[in-house]
Amino acid sequence: MSRAAADHGIAFADAVAVWARIAALSFGGPAGQIAVMHRILVDEKRWIGEGRFLHALNYCMLLPGPEAQQLAIYIGWLLHRTKGGLVAGALFVLPGLIAILALSYAYVLLGHLPLIEGLFFGLKAAVLAIVAQAVIRVGSRAMGNGAMRAIAALAFAAIFLFGLPFPLVVLVAGLVGFLGGRAGLTAFRGGGGHRRAGGAVLEDRESALGEGLPSHARPDARWSFSICGVLLLLWLAPVAALALLLGPDHVFSRIAIFFSQMAVVTFGGAYAVLAYVAQQAVDGYGWLKPGEMLDGLGMAETTPGPLIMVTQFVGFLAAFRNAGSLPPLLAATLGGLLTTWVTFLPCFLWIFAGAPFVERLRSNQALSAALAAIAAAVVGVILNLALWFAIHTLFGRVESIAFAGGRLDVPVLATFDAPAAILALAAAAALFRFRLGVPIVLLLAAALGAIVVLADGA
């Protein structure tokens, strides 16, 4: 056995190569990324069994942040301790970080060119269909009864009509679910998370890791306090330093504080998070326009890595437009990297802090019920995102109508964008009728968008 191999016989160098391969293939959102991990780690390499894979995934679903990256960290830690988790999580983000940074440069330097404008015009239209698909996909597994549907409806109204913040909606939904689970109500019994459909199942005992608990996976208070202390320092020390040195109103301070807060409350996946980010970044801070959020999501959809990498684009534009004494591109680069740091570093903290104790959560019905209620609320949040994107993409102007305690965004019908609507419908047909993959749909939509814009300017 190689000296770099653990007791299970898997060399660390081999694991690094596999994690790099998974990162390069991680397109298509969390469902696609989890499927890639399952195919390579369970079916192909047989390093980890089906039961342990799902157990790890169910724990990651309880956490804020991108569940696919956290699953990579968890399994990396399970295989090769702390260094395994660090490498797996970092490699999962790295390709997307590089790709989004390159596309962000092209966006601010070349975005005024008709060809680039056309590409992003097509991407925006396709993203509408993709978000609608997300509403249906999440809703189909989260709204199994009347109580869950009521939570989804109330969450939608709370954000769309009354502008309540996403963290508050999630907190209330989780509390309702937790109390319902404690009370033993049938409607609040959580599901089992993702499941594999069909095919032979690799039992834990037949995998390289086996069904026993590795020695480092047992709760160790000393290790937990040490690693969590280091991660907390790496995460929060830069945030505090920026706020103290530059002041809380500086763009870097705002980026660090806002995305650190987001990392704590972002339950429900990237599409749910985007509603919160859009609400604050567009309406609150004025860092970018509604259509630019769609451009960023289009970038994240067409590059490997978590969809939440779109936040890097938001931080990039925020710093680019508020560069102060720095050259705009330098400020933008620092803003994008800062955003990525405070967005993804907490994911390592959640896994390293909780993974050794996860067995205690496995059969906790109250926590499962809280997760089920949060998942239902997320459906309403994503529906709000879909409507918000649709209104600002299909219409050139939107007016706000205030009423008792709330506000309703109403599009100006005279500003309806027919080409954008046609492209969105075509993308929806490609996804729902012809079942084309998301990357293919985005590429086709971008090409059509470029043709439309170039033809219009000819």
Question: Residue with structure tokens 């869950």?
Answer: 148
Question: Residue with structure tokens 């330093």?
Answer: 241
pLDDT of residue 190: 53
Q: Name the helix (H) or strand (E) containing 229.
A: helix 221-246
pLDDT of residue 344: 94
Q: Name the helix (H) or strand (E) containing 408.
A: strand 406-411
SS3 assignment, position 407: strand
Distance CA 275, CA 260 (A): 16
Distance CA 356, CA 78 (A): 9
Q: Name the helix (H) or strand (E) containing 105.
A: helix 67-110
pLDDT per residue of the chain (458 residues) written in tens, 0 to 9:
344 445 678 899 999 999 999 988 776 566 667 878 888 998 889 999 887 887 787 678 767 888 889 999 999 999 998 999 999 999 999 999 999 999 999 999 988 788 888 888 888 888 788 778 877 876 776 677 899 999 999 999 998 888 887 778 878 998 999 999 899 888 886 544 444 444 567 887 888 887 777 776 776 778 888 999 999 999 999 999 999 999 999 999 999 999 999 888 776 566 666 777 877 888 889 998 877 887 887 788 778 888 888 899 999 999 999 999 999 999 999 999 999 999 999 999 999 988 877 655 555 778 778 877 887 887 887 788 788 878 888 998 888 888 877 888 899 999 999 999 999 999 999 989 998 887 788 889 989 999 998 888 75
What is the DSSP secondary-structure string of 315-379? HHHHHHHT-TTS-HHHHHHHHHHHHHHHHHHHHHHHHHHHGGGGGGTTT-HHHHHHHHHHHHHHH
Distance CA 313, CA 332 (A): 9
Assigned token pair, 224: 């937990």
Give the other-Cβ count within 10 Å of 127's Cβ.
Answer: 27
Distance CA 398, CA 430 (A): 28
Question: Residue with structure tokens 């451009």?
Answer: 295
Q: What is the separation of C-alpha 223 from the centre of its chain, rounded to a whole number of angstroms?
A: 28
pLDDT of residue 235: 97
Helices and strands (H and E) in the chain: how many = 16, 2
